[in-house]
Amino acid sequence: MAQSDQLASKVIISESEENNITSVATDKDLQSDVANEQWEIEEVAQTVTISTTKVVKESAKKTQPAPQKKPAKVAVPQSAWTIQLGAFQNAKNINILLKKLHKAGFQAHTVPTEVIDGELTRVFVGPDVSKKKLEKQLSHLKRLTQLQGKLIPFNAVNP
């Protein structure tokens, strides 16, 4: 067999990077080794490591991020006001008063929010940022409820 035929008939079986060893066998060797179940290991060449590096070109122009627009500040009032109409224990009377206030168009609420018979519950109208607006409503509330309301500062965090 010519040497070129011999090279063409070589088969690479496995490659081990640790030992730089490659198993090579010819057709003839394969037939005889299969019968004997033995493999011949032959060193072919040293392992060559090829590293690839990426070259990244930086643009000549350095771009700066666009300045971020700040949202327009909305004037938030530092204080608000509410009218306390009273503090009551009778749940039925509190609910009647709340219905009367809501029917007349007032924004009314209680503290605590859940009305429980026998527990002291405060009834409020508001809140509003305009103290003058609430002062004007005091006379209308007195005619409607026969209660003299009291204007007090409102704290939204701890009403």
Residue 34: C-alpha distances to residues 41, 115, 148, 159 (Å) = 15, 94, 111, 92
What percentage of residues in the chain have a pLDDT greater than 70?
50
Residue 139 has pLDDT above 80, yes or no: yes
How confident is the model over 47-84, as pLDDT tens digits?
667 766 665 555 545 556 666 666 666 555 568 999 99
114-141 burial, b at 16+ Cβ within 10 Å, e below that, comes to ebeeeeebebbbbbbeeeeebeebeeeb
pLDDT for residue 156: 75
Position 151 scores a pLDDT of 94
Q: What rounded mean pLDDT belongs to the chain?
A: 75
Q: Which CATH superfamily is domain 80-154 in?
A: Sporulation related repeat (3.30.70.1070)
Domain assignments of the chain as residue spans, ordered by start: 3-42, 80-154
| 17, pLDDT greater than 60 | no
pLDDT for 155 equals 83
